[in-house]
Structure 1
Amino acid sequence: MLLTINQLGAVIALLFLSSLSLVAQTEATELNIPKKVYNTIAVKGEAPDIDGDLSDAAWNDVAWSSGYVEFQPDVGTEPTQQTKMKITYDGKNLYIAFHCLESDKSKIERRLGRRDDFPGDWVEINIDSYNDDRTAFSFTASASGVKGDEFVSNNGNFDSSWNPIWYLATGENEEGWTAEMRIPLSQLRFSAEEIQTWGIQSTRRYFANEERSTWQPLPANPPGWVSEFGELRGIKGIKPQKQLEIQPFVLGQYDTFEEEVGNPFRDGDDFGGNVGLDAKIGITNDLTLDLTVNPDFGQVDADPGAIALDGFEIFFEERRPFFVENKSVFDFRVGGGADNVFFPRRIGRTPQGGTTFDASKGEYEDFPTNTTILGAAKFSGKTKDGWTIGVLESVTGKEFAEIELDNREEITDPLDLDGLLGEKRKELVEPLTNYFVGRVQKDFNDRNSFVGGIFTTTHRDMERSLDFLHTQAYTGGIDFRHNWKDRKYYIEGRGIISRVNGDPQAILNTQTSLTHLFQRVDAEHLEVDPDATSLSGTGGNLAIGRGSGKWRYELGGNWRSPGLELNDIGFLRRADRIVQFASVRRFWNNSTSWYRQANVGVEQTTQYDFDGNFNRIQYEGRAEINWKNNWFTEVGGAHKPRIFINSFLRGGPRWRFNEENFYFAAVGTDQRKKLSAIAVYVNSQAKQDNFSLNRYELRLNYQPLDALSLSLSTEYEMNPNKTQYVSQQSYAPATFGTRYITGEIEQETLSATLRVNYNINPNFTIQYYAQPFIAKGTYTNFNFVADSDNENLNERVTLFNQNQISEVDGGYAVDEDVDGTTDYSFGNPDFNFVQFRSNLVARWEYIPGSEVFLVWSQGIEGGASSRESLTDAFDSQVLGQQIRNTFLVKWTYRFVL
């Protein structure tokens, strides 16, 4: 029996108040931990050599600081092995020395990895040089000499895309291993004050026990990371260093592919080159301008294979370095999921236009895969007064598809070069476009609170052939967060408003897109306006909760109005939603005789649309435990008694799925071992076998040598559904004059991801990535929607009988009234999609910040017969075809001025 709204509110309130009571009982046991202080002095003579040997005279002038305290798995206890730290400085650099004590040096794990892999034993320092309790710069040294560096934002979000220039050497002595760092002050941001006070924290990973200890002791589940740092004092007289780095690149690329006879664009190979420039300019000590001109991202991994039968765009993470670095400054999420006001993959996207290309006339087309980014600039940083500022500007150029008619058979004169080349034309498929993002936040209330805003614009230099695109798109938003009682509790929220302008065709396309569906036949609150030249909407969220301690909880909601549109420069999957959520989680942080750490939580969500329809309710539970032997187990499940989807019939009436129960279980072995594994099983089952899901995952990691690691992740999924959407066809006797057709699908997906990493040394690495992906769907038992919101599946749809439907060439014909005349038809929806991607990259950082890349990429995709099995489809479409090859050499040099 479903809860009424009042009953649901009472349950949520009771849950919230109960957790408050439990927290109050444990509040008194939580201690206020005093801040540690390290006092340093400047180098008096020669600066220390960065060689891993700590015998330099400069180190004798500063004291060791020790007293590290275990943070994981047992908070507040003495670590297995202690760590000592020293810090000194001069006018240009900060120097840090670590002595990681080890009574049994055979336990030191010196695994190699690429930058930011954090392999084996490591030690790191985090520096809050702004002293703002929210942002920090992190530098990590593995025992093998591998560097790691991250920018920390929002009091705990680590971004490994930040790659500063700094110097590291590690060594070994009779008492353990050592690390020595030199960090140029130009890579940090700090005020111009004569006497500096910085926040610092140091963490050591003791690999043998999978243990973390910290220099500044921390409580279990702290309310943040940077806010809990200790202090570095004694730095005097240093001057902010204005950063100026210029990094040009040069590349050459050679492509080979299967020759297509008669196709002038597919002659078997292609050669090209490119030059570009990246620059980083310190406008002030606080604010940095990043520039890129004609950027290249050839060494970036390809996106994983995926297929979506619901029609929605698939979300892929941004991987390009220019846009990834410091991306947290521009982040502005709209509730849960991937929805965001700024989604940088819109910049340089695949062109959105089409052409008049006609294969039946013997024409061939060369369609660009991406839009050229002419240039981009990013101005970002944080001032000593607590202002976080981000401005991003990018321009993408016009893109044209080339179309050529193969008329070589008509050539009579062998010297007729114009005839040999055939008829050519170019058609515009993407206009000149300007993208702008402005972001600001201001800390106040002793850095316990902030307010901020964001503004984005997209402007297109429109031409008539592309009038289906928006001419302008604007988004504005505000956000805030307030923490109190030592940051244990918080309230946060954000609100946004959007507006898009364009030709009536462009706005009509937006109104009727899958994201909006203003034409939905049973939506009384929506109406299509074919003459509209703009569309506006709002969105946002509000949440309150506790973010630290043994008990954590949150209560809140979010919304996206029907007219909200973000997809010109952001990401929005579905508008017209109102979501309420509540969650509680309990943590057990100290180990016992049988586990190290554990937590368990429950969550409840409901969903409505702006017409007041109650579309979904879900109850979910999840538990995680890390066993004493470092194996782990995760289990969870959900009950979904009510599932309505407005978009399932793509403009048709609201659709109901049967009640669903879902659960998953995962178990993993000790991930430190040379050979480790993770196995995952996911099961979902709806009543009346409406749909089900069985997913099997196996992930293997093997490290036979310190320099060599291999990982293989495989996934097999079966997802049958008796009512998978197929098509909609006009048919007068049908409700709304349209027949909505579904079918029973047997869907299988198989994928595998192989990664091989070999490290010649910490600065010379070789990585190989390969992923085959196969997705197959076979349809039977076609039916039409009779009563879309009926609880009984057999009343919801009506099966076509054998007299009503017949298979024809390329599809199906339906004679619904059995009068001997076809009433409507639809295509064969069966599919068998095969894709293979691989990337072999050799990367050599020959001096800090300057690199050489050698890349070999392969790729192919195609459609196999639906009668073929998954393995047969892979054999015919990958092993049996000529694969595209790309060979790329890229050289960069970073000038530091």
Structure 2
Amino acid sequence: MKSITFALSLFAAFIAAEIEAQDSIIPKRIYTTKVITGDAPTIDGVLDDSAWDLVEWTTDYIEFQPDVGTPPTEQTKMKILYDAKNLYVAFKCYQADPNTIEKRMGRRDDFPGDWVEINLDSYNDDRSAFSFTISASGVKGDEFVSNNGNFDDSWNPIWYTDTKIDIDGWSAEMRIPLSQLRFGDEQAQIWGLQSTRRYFNNEERSTWQPLDANPPGWVSEFGELHGLIGLKPQKQLEIQPYTVAQLDTYEAQAGNPFRDGSDTKLTGGLDAKIGITNDLTVDLTINPDFGQVDADPGAIALDGFEIFFQERRPFFVENKNVFDFRIGGGADNLFFSRRIGRTPQGITSADGSLGEYEDIPNFSTILGAAKFSGKTKNGWAIGILESITSKEYGIVKLDERQDVINSLPQVGQEREELVEPFTNYLVTRAQKDFNNRNSYVGAIFTATNRNIEDNVNFLRKNAYSGGLDFRHNWKNRTYYFQGNMSFSHVTGSKEAIEITQRSLTHLFQREDASHVSVDPNRTSLTGTGGNFEIGKGGAGNWRYNIGGNWKSPELELNDIGFLRQADDIRQYSNIRRLFNKPTSWFRQANVGLELSTAFDFEGNYNRIQYEMGGFVNFINNWFADFGAAHKPRIFTNTFLRGGPRWRYNEENFWYLFVGTDQRKRLSTTIGYVNSRAKQNNFSLKRYELRFRYQPLNALSASLNLQYEENPSKTQYVTQRDFNGTQRYILGAIDNESFSATLRVNYNINPNLTIQYYGQPFIFKAKFSGFNYVNNPIAEDINERITLYNDNQIESSNGGYLVDEDLDGNTDYSFGDPNFAFVQFRSNLVVRWEYIPGSEIFLVWSQGIDGLGDVNNSFSGIVDNQIFGQKPNNTFLIKATYRFVL
């Protein structure tokens, strides 16, 4: 049945392709710039400098959204000039009533009002570009565009701009130093060029280079900038030292020498950007500090897997797309930068019964890191990242209270124990364009090398991974074929490799698996992964693809990459219909269907899922996002943590999110997710409520509330031996979670902002109805598990005693799994960019973690665990200065 459905889905996709009309090719526009022969324009937003008379205005912007191909409500003009050091851009944004210009302010790269931007494909490779945006309120934005449409706002170059409002609308001037761009050394150059304007009143986007309603990419559809003659590449050299003064306060703990109530620290470091050639750059950091970065949101994973959190540290975020190498759906990637500087993985031998306390660093110290990246004129994109983290030690000390010391036996003095070894990380990446930039091939190689010593022998000594990837586009990028193949090889002690085999990612000890088994004598593992996909990505109103990916049982990426689960094979097909022509009731809409299946390397058929989803942007700018899915078959190899394959009852879920016009001063989004399995095996209800309010142009606030209930009759608890048989103990769980995320931004001016982030997170899990696995793959839940009766199980001393055979003796016991977790994180940051590229941060961070009473209400937990505790506070001042040499 699954094969027939899969084939029908594919057939329907190709039939749709045959019947849809193909759009004609839109000619590329050309703008010819000139070199400045006299004084350069003054960047003040007033377009009265004589230099601007050297070139003509270019205009005739065409609407792209919502009504593609039509004249915009308000027209825009653009001019471009250059000299030996800079590119100059002028915009004239007409608006019949200047009082309607929306001058809302936001953080850098955030534009809630009117704005205009220019995109420059200075490599002229149809894949990458530099984007510069200016809002009517004067807020700057800059992004590096990769892969023909991925915008990365972590790129923060130095450039200059200003805006002015007059009787005709508003105008903007830019000065972009050529040192911030990358380009070849040809005498006469052609760059890709695009400009976009947002007209806030009608929520319109108009572009200088007209576009199809559904273009196959972004950069590949640019027009062209001509007239660049004799440009001399500028080798960039920027040095940015920093210093940080930090004070940590927390509740003192009697006798604990590491918790006396406060700590202070004064540190410094250095960032640098060095242009090796005109198109290849080295970024360096020595002892980087990330104290101004927001904390991760609260989350709990009951399935035992690591939770994936986005990278937030500026050095690793900038140009992260260069090193991206995904091997399948989700977050799985050969490179995950958060491995660098991770929390130490070892523990100390501190013995609390002997009055010993330990102090382990929260993160491994990054001694230094360097990135070498860029793109050459012959189409080679190159990226190399090297980083070194130091040895980290846990320090063990005795209780400082004299009465405790006198009551303890003689023990050792203060000592330090290794908890993370000296480690070197290396990532190399390359891609080569060919076939008139319609195709590329690429490669990646990563290496993690640790200096292993006896007490961290459980860690892998060496980990290597690599891969090849490719993409080919044809018929004006309407169709594509892409894929990659990867490998991993890890080595270490017998202990380290056995731990790897038994980890949740691999589970070689699974008792019903014939294709894997634990070998305690192995000192290495080698695995493979990859994916292939073919589809239609442009032209017309239909999109579709078909593909698959695999991850072999031995694949291991988690030393410098991210891999949730190995031993997995997936197939998928998608088809989507786009509606881009506005009607009487919507501006844009789309609807799609998806089919996916999953297997393991033993050939077990584990999952099939049918899903549909869609999106509608209504004529009043409200929107709806909706979808539903049916999962008739759900098996998992990981649920019993090394036990046999497990079956869930078939599941249905649906979701609906509705939002008001996001342009309004007050906008709201309401969302609901519902999932339910047959026989009430498990269910999910999630409620989301989001508010955004901007009472003043300079002040905005957002509040996101989320409440979730996720009960299940079969939540994994633990494993116990019963007369030589492994018992997999489960329980009925009622769990609830609640989070509230508040953000407030106040812009005193475009370069001086105050930002607040705060989030309480509460999670409660209460167990009952304990049972054990009987037949893990039975379709009927009553055959799959057996409930303990009242005579078999009893509560005792914070746990449970089980007399399964009712002979009057306890056969095994387990602890009480009930728990309530509470977390509060907040961050108040004052950021002042006192000159372009140089900043001062004033930061106040708060944090609370604790366990609550599962029987309390959420309000009771908040009162006792958040308001009733003394928080950990961090106060810091960070100053940077960027020298441009």
TM tier, shorter chain?
Answer: over 0.9
Q: For residue 674 of structure 2, what is the aligned residue in structure 1?
A: 683
Q: 1:698-777 residue pairs with structure 2 within 5 A?
A: 698-732=689-723, 737-777=725-765
Q: Which amino acid aligns with 1:486?
A: N
1:47 partnered with 2:40: yes
Question: 1:410, CA displacement in angstroms?
Answer: 5.6
Question: Does residue 572 in structure 1 map to residue 563 in structure 2?
Answer: yes
1:440 aligned partner: 430
For 1:512-661, what aligned pairs fall within 5 Å after superposition?
512-549=502-539, 550-661=541-652
**Cα displacement (A) at 1:603:** 0.1
Take 2:700 and 2:400, find their aligned partners in 1: how far apart are those partners? 53
Matched residue, 1:814: 802
Deviation of the 1:24 alpha carbon: 2.7
Whether 1:482 and 2:472 are equivalent positions in the alignment is yes
Q: 1:209-248 deviations in whole A, cap 9, x for unaligned?
A: 1110000000011001000000000111110000000000
Work out which of the residue numbers 145, 148, 153 in structure 2 matches 1:160.
153
Q: Distance in 2 between matches of 1:887 and 1:759?
A: 21
Q: Which amino acid aligns with 2:731?
A: G
Deviation at 1:307, TM superposition (A): 0.1
Q: What is the alpha-carbon distance in structure 2 between the residues aligned to residue 19 and residue 342 of structure 1?
A: 34
Please state whether the residue corresponding to 1:626 is helix, strand or coil. Answer: strand
- Pairing partner for 1:386 from 360, 376, 379: 379
> Paired residue for 1:18, among 12, 24, 33?
12
SS at match of 1:846: strand
TM-aligned CA deviation for residue 15 of structure 1: 2.6
Between the aligned partners of 1:9 and 1:244, the Cα distance in structure 2 is 58
Q: Which letter maps to 1:451?
A: V
Residue 815 of structure 2 corresponds to residue 827 of structure 1:
yes
Match of 1:398 in 2: 391
Q: Distance in 1 between matches of 2:117 and 2:216?
A: 21
Q: Secondary structure of the equivalent of 1:753?
A: strand
SS in 2 for 1:114: coil
> Hey, what does 1:693 align to over in structure 2?
684
Offset at residue 21 of structure 1 (A): 2.8
Contact 1:255 1:884 in 2 (8 A): yes
C-alpha distance in 1 between matches for 2:702 and 2:469: 41
> 1:131, CA displacement in angstroms?
0.5
Q: What is the aligned partner in structure 2 of residue 416 from structure 1?
A: none
Deviations 1:107-140 (A, max 9, x none): 1000011100122000000000011100000000
Name stretches of at least 5 consecutive residues in structure 2 with no aligned partner: none
Aligned to 2:489: 499
Which aligned segments of 4 or more residues in structure 1 are displaced greater than 2 angstroms?
8-28, 410-413
- Contact 1:507 1:533 (8 Å CA) reproduced: yes
Question: Which residue is equivalent to 1:362?
Answer: 355
1:252 aligned residue: 245
Q: Which of 452, 455, 463 does residue 453 from structure 2 map onto?
A: 463
- The aligned counterpart of 1:231 is 224
1:796 is matched with which residue: 771, 781, 784? Answer: 784
Counterpart residue number, 2:883: 895
Distance 2:853 2:582 in 1: 55
Q: Distance in 1 between matches of 2:602 and 2:18?
A: 41
Q: Deviations over 1:468-514 (max 9, x none)?
A: 10000000100000000000100000010101000000000000000
Partners of 2:488 and 2:527 within 8 A in 1: yes
For the 8 Å contact 1:542–1:558, the answer to whether it is kept is yes
- Counterpart in the other structure of 1:69: 62
Contact 1:716/1:749 (CA < 8 Å) preserved in 2? yes
Which of residues 841, 847, 852 in structure 2 aligns to 1:853? 841
TM-score by length of 2: 0.99
What whole-Å deviation, never above 9, does each CA across 1:713-757 have from its counterpart, x for those lacking one?
000000000000000001126xxx200000000000000000000
Q: Are the aligned partners of 2:536 and 2:545 in contact in 1 as well (CA < 8 Å)?
A: yes
* Whole-angstrom distance in 2 between the partners of 1:435 and 1:412: 44
Which of 445, 451, 456 pairs up with 2:441?
A: 451
Q: Which residue of 1 is the match for residue 420 of structure 2?
A: 430
Deviations 1:331-389 (A, max 9, x none): 00011100000000000000001111111111111111000000000000111110000
Per the alignment, residue 292 of structure 1 pairs with: 285
CA–CA distance in 2 between the matches of 1:353 and 1:882? 28
One-letter identity of the residue aligned with 1:815: D
Distance 1:445 1:591 in 2: 37
Secondary structure class of the residue paired with 1:27: coil
Q: CA deviation at 1:18?
A: 2.8
Superposition deviation, residue 422 in structure 1: 9.6
CA separation in 2, counterparts of 1:530 and 1:88? 68
Contact kept, 8 Å, 1:406 with 1:423, in 2: the verdict is no
Question: Equivalent residue of 2:191, what SS?
Answer: strand
- 1:179-199 CA-partner distances (Å, limit 9, x unpaired): 100000000111111111100
Which residue of the other structure, out of 105, 111, 121, is the alignment partner of 1:112? 105
Do the aligned partners of 2:117 and 2:133 also contact (CA within 8 Å) in 1? yes
Query: Aligned partners of 1:749, 1:801: CA distance in 2, in Å?
Result: 30
What do residues 577-612 of structure 1 show as CA deviations (whole Å, max 9, x unaligned)?
Answer: 000000000000010111000000000000000010
Give 5+ residue unaligned stretches, structure 1: 414-418
Distance of 1:858 and 1:39 partners within structure 2: 54
Kept in 1: contact 2:112–2:663 (CA 8 A): no
Q: Distance in 2 between matches of 1:510 and 1:447?
A: 42
Q: Distance in 2 between matches of 1:263 and 1:14?
A: 67
What is the CA distance between 1:27 and its match in structure 2? 3.1
Mapped partners of 1:802, 1:568: distance in 2: 47
Deviates more, 1:422-431 or 1:870-879: 422-431
The correspondence for 2:498, drawn from 508, 512, 525, is 508
1:109-258 paired onto structure 2 within 5 Å = 109-258=102-251
Residue pair 1:657, 1:690 contacting (<8 A) in 2 also:
yes
Matched, 1:841 2:835: no
> C-alpha displacement at 1:776, in angstroms?
0.1
CA–CA distance in structure 2, aligned partners of residues 189 and 634 of structure 1: 39
* 1:669 to 1:627, Cα distance in 2 relative to 1, 3 A: same
CA distance in structure 1 between the aligned counterparts of 2:405 and 2:274, rounded to whole angstroms: 60
2:366 is aligned, of 367, 370, 373, to 373
TM-fit CA distance, 1:412: 11
Secondary structure at the aligned position of 2:402 is classed as helix
Distance 1:570 1:16 in 2: 33
* Conserved 8 A contact 2:591-2:614: yes
Q: Relative to 1, partners in 2 of residues 1:407 and 1:202: Cα closer, same or farther, differing over 3 Å?
A: closer
Give the alignment's Cα RMSD to 1 decimal. Answer: 1.4
Distance 2:122 2:400 in 1: 68
Q: Residue deviations 1:269-291, cap 9 Å, x none?
A: 11111100000000011110000
**Partner SS, residue 353 of structure 2:** helix
- Closer, same or farther in 2 for the Cα pair 1:412/1:673, shift >3 Å? closer
Contact (CA 8 Å) 2:98, 2:166: kept in 1 or not? no
**How far 1:761 moved relative to its partner?**
0.1
Name the counterpart of 2:861.
873
- Residue 339 of structure 1 aligns with an amino acid whose one-letter code is D
Question: For the Cα contact (< 8 Å) 2:383–2:430, is it kept in 1?
Answer: yes
**Partners of 1:671 and 1:713 in 2: how far apart?**
14
Matched, 1:276 2:276: no
Rounded to whole Å, the distance in 1 between the matches of 2:288 and 2:450 is: 21
CA distance in 2, matches of 1:870, 1:528: 44
SS in 2 for 1:345: helix
* Contact 1:566–1:572, Cα closer than 8 Å, also in 2: yes
Query: In 2, are the aligned partners of 1:406 and 1:422 still within 8 Å (CA)?
Result: no
TM-score by structure 1 length? 0.97
What code does the residue aligned with 2:754 have?
I
Q: Is the contact made by 1:407 and 1:422 (CA closer than 8 Å) also made in structure 2?
A: no
